Chain A
Amino acid sequence: MFYEDPMRIDNALRFGDVLKGFAVCTPVINKPPLPDELNCQIEIAKPPFYVILSPCCSIRDEIISLAPLVQIKNSLYGNPYYAEDPTRINGKIEPIYSLPPAAWDNMDAVEKAGRLSKGPSYSLLEYFIYKEHDLFPQYEVHRKDGKIFTRHYMIDFRAAFKVACKSIQSPEMSPIQCKCLQLTTETRSQLIDKLLVYFSRPSVEEIALAV
């Protein structure tokens, strides 16, 4: 089960929870450094749902980290393995399933061997898919081979942001009315694991130095 049973949802905010009722404010600084006078654009958006990316014990002191739930990239549906079940992106998969079939078929033998040697691994490290739920609005994914309707959403770890909120004092002393869904322990663990790999992956230079 991806989401916790509504009857068993905690009366507290947890890492991975889906919330509603916030907004995203993004400073746009195209040519840093900024001059002394503060002059930059701020984009404000209000997606309907957000995911808590603060670890449970850090949900306090009037600060919380969130990431907006956004529609899944069209291009991910170019891989039938992902299209069949987008939540497969959340876990380790065999190399052959990590690519669209045409890309795999056209790959030279040396690169294929290199990829096969890795065995089951994570892919698309920035993304974590939130399984379809009646709460989420349905949307169309436009593909060359036709339209797909889905209620799956995703978070992009790069889009995490901070919200200052005086109502957030602790996981229990928080605006619980904003809470919509809670991940099961198993799914939350999967989110933690992927986030760990996202932050701990070495750079290309580090890998080259290690060989």
Chain B
Amino acid sequence: MTESSSLTPAITGDQTTEKAKKIVYPFGRYEIEVLVTDTGKFIGIVGIKVNADFLTQAQKLSTASFHDVEKYYREEDK
């Protein structure tokens, strides 16, 4: 996930106009928001969030959804 924004000079006198973008890295139970330049240069960490996907594998399985309809389409001659 990325989000572009203008880069504010981090150092007095730095007149760069290079744009920055925010990249969200999943890291275990957390999501780290990292700001990088368009050329990929690391600027800093701007946020840490808890990954909101709390579903366990078992819960994910229970939400897997498809219509169980095969028995209604069996060929008559079989």
Binding site for B on A (CB under 8 A): 73-76, 78-79, 93, 95, 98-100, 103, 115, 118-119, 121-125, 197, 200-202, 206-207, 209-211
- What is the CB-to-nearest-CB distance from B66 to chain A, in angstroms, rounded to a whole number? 5
* Chain B residues within an 8 Å CB radius of A211: 62
Q: Compute how far the CA of A122 lies from the CA of B60 in the bound complex, rounded to whole angstroms.
A: 17
Binding site for A on B (CB under 8 A): 58-62, 64-67, 69-70, 72-76
Q: Compute how far the CA of A119 lies from the CA of B74 in the bound complex, rounded to whole angstroms.
A: 24
* Chain A residues within an 8 Å CB radius of B67: 93, 95, 98-99, 115, 118, 121-123
State whether B61 touches A206 (Cβ < 8 A).
yes
Q: Compute how far the CA of A65 lies from the CA of B40 in the bound complex, rounded to whole angstroms.
A: 39
State whether B65 touches A202 (Cβ < 8 A).
no
- What is the CB-to-nearest-CB distance from A123 to chain B, in angstroms, rounded to a whole number? 4
- What is the CB-to-nearest-CB distance from A157 to chain B, in angstroms, rounded to a whole number? 13
State whether B62 touches A210 (Cβ < 8 A).
yes
State whether A100 touches B72 (Cβ < 8 A).
yes
